[in-house]
Amino acid sequence: AIGEDERYRWLARRFGLTAQEQLTCGCHVHVSVESDEEGVAVLDRVRSWLPVLLALSGNSPFWQGQDTSYDSYRSRVWGRWPSAGPVELFGSAERYHQQVEDLIGTGVLRDKGMIYFDARLSHRYPTVEFRVADVCLDPADTVLLATLARGLVETAARDWRAGGRPDPVTAGVLRMADWQAARSGMEGRLVHPRTGRPEPAADVAHALLDHVREALEDSGDLTSAQAALRTLLERGTGARIQRELLADSDSLRTVVTECAARTRG
């Protein structure tokens, strides 16, 4: 059901079935930045790593009672919104804000809250907001996700302050990487952010950890992140666990019940 708030009624009128079918939840991670300029510099530098966060969090393999063959079908449903997904390089806070105004100016979007980029500047808080991930089945995976996001922000901010330049990978390639992450999660191959070529998912996840290693060492999070990633790779994401539960029970109702119990701990 659509909420009674006028904003949600407008969304229902404007977007029809797309709004009606958004039975999805995402995990949004906010990491503080000192300024919009730093925040945009971070966005320009983390964009190629965002599909890895999606793969690590995959937890939506079923839709309309069927196995979709995707680890994160939520991301495919979410991608129906006109502003969702990867973006090109911005280069400056001024260009970022101008693009947001231009998108709203088309009349397709209602307000800044509908800027559904995979990562964006929050319009409410002084943060970079990571929006790409599924809601994880295991809270430990959510902690890992937040730790990696914070490490990405710190690593990117340091690179910007040191005069480094962001990777010029195109939004088109990032869309391919997003699709691959949603499709196979951690079970197959991912597009490596450094090479743009498919490599084993575990290797790409370790490349992300290596990328943020210095930042995690400085914050005291490296050892716990290494252990959490090792556990996730051995156990699998929520998508794998849901499929294993279905194979054992042959009942999606049982899958939902068991997942709820695991989430409660």
Q: Does residue 6 form part of some domain? A: no
Q: Please report, rounded to a whole number, the percentage of residues in the chain having pLDDT higher than 90.
A: 86
Q: Does residue 4 form part of some domain? A: no
Distances (CA, A) of 263 to 76, 93, 112, 139: 24, 39, 32, 7
The predicted-structure confidence for 13-22, as pLDDT tens digits, reads as follows 888 888 777 7
CB 145 within 8 A of CB 50: no
Q: Global pTM? A: 0.94
Q: Does residue 10 form part of some domain? A: no
For 17-83, give the DSSP string: HHHHT----EEEEEEE-S-HHHHHHHHHHHGGGHHHHHHHH--B-EETTEE-S-SBHHHHHHTTSTT
Q: Does residue 9 form part of some domain? A: no
The domain spanning residue 62 has which CATH number? 3.30.590.20
Q: Does residue 20 form part of some domain? A: no
> How large is the C-alpha radius of gyration of the chain?
18
Report which of 214, 108, 118, 203 is spatially closest to residue 158, judged by C-alpha positions. Answer: 214
Q: Please report, rounded to a whole number, the percentage of residues in the chain having pLDDT higher than 70.
A: 98
Q: Does residue 152 form part of some domain? A: yes
Distances (CA, A) of 265 to 59, 191, 259: 17, 33, 10
2 pLDDT above the threshold of 70: no
Number of domains present in the structure of the chain: 1
Q: What are phi and psi of 84, to 5 degrees?
A: -80, 155
Q: What is the pLDDT of residue 14?
A: 84
Sheet with 119-121, edge to edge strand ranges: 26-32, 127-134, 119-121
Rounded CA gap, 168 and 18, in Å?
32
Q: What is the pLDDT of residue 20?
A: 78
Contacts made by residues 75-78, CB under 8 angstroms, sequence distance 24+ = 75/132, 75/134, 75/178, 75/181, 75/182, 76/182, 77/21, 77/22, 77/23, 77/24, 78/22, 78/24, 78/26, 78/116
Mean pLDDT of 229-234: 98
Which residue range(s) make up the domain with 132?
Answer: 26-264
1 pLDDT above the threshold of 90: no
Q: Does residue 19 form part of some domain? A: no
Q: Does residue 8 form part of some domain? A: no
Q: What is the pLDDT of residue 27?
A: 93
CA atoms in the 13 A half-sphere facing the CB of 140: 16
Mean pLDDT over the full length of the chain: 94
The predicted-structure confidence for 35-94, as pLDDT tens digits, reads as follows 999 999 999 999 999 999 999 999 999 999 999 999 999 999 999 999 999 999 999 999
Six-digit token pair at 13?
């009128």
